[in-house]
Structure 1
Amino acid sequence: MNYWLALLRDRLDRAREAREKGAMSAEAMIIIAALALVALTVMGIVTAKIIEKANSISL
Structure 2
Amino acid sequence: MFPDIQPLTAHMRRLRARLRGLVRDERGYSTETVVVTALLVALAIIVIGIIATKVTDKARLINLG
Relative to the length of structure 2, the TM-score reads 0.62
Kindly report which structure 2 residues correspond to 1:1-59, keeping only aligned pairs within 5 A, or say none: 1-12=12-23, 13=25, 16-19=26-29, 20-50=31-61, 52=62, 55=63
Task: Write the letter of the residue equivalent to 1:44.
Answer: V
Larger radius of gyration: 2
Q: 1:23 Cα deviation (Å)?
A: 1.4
Task: Write the letter of the residue equivalent to 1:36.
Answer: V
Task: Write the letter of the residue equivalent to 1:17.
Answer: R
TM-superposition CA deviations, 1:13-59 (whole Å, max 9, x none): 1xx11211121101111111111111111110011123x2xx47xxx
Unaligned regions of 5+ residues in structure 2, if any? 1-11
Which of structure 1's runs of 4+ aligned residues deviate more than 3 A?
none
RMSD between aligned residues: 1.7
Aligned length in residues: 51
Task: Write the letter of the residue equivalent to 1:18.
Answer: G
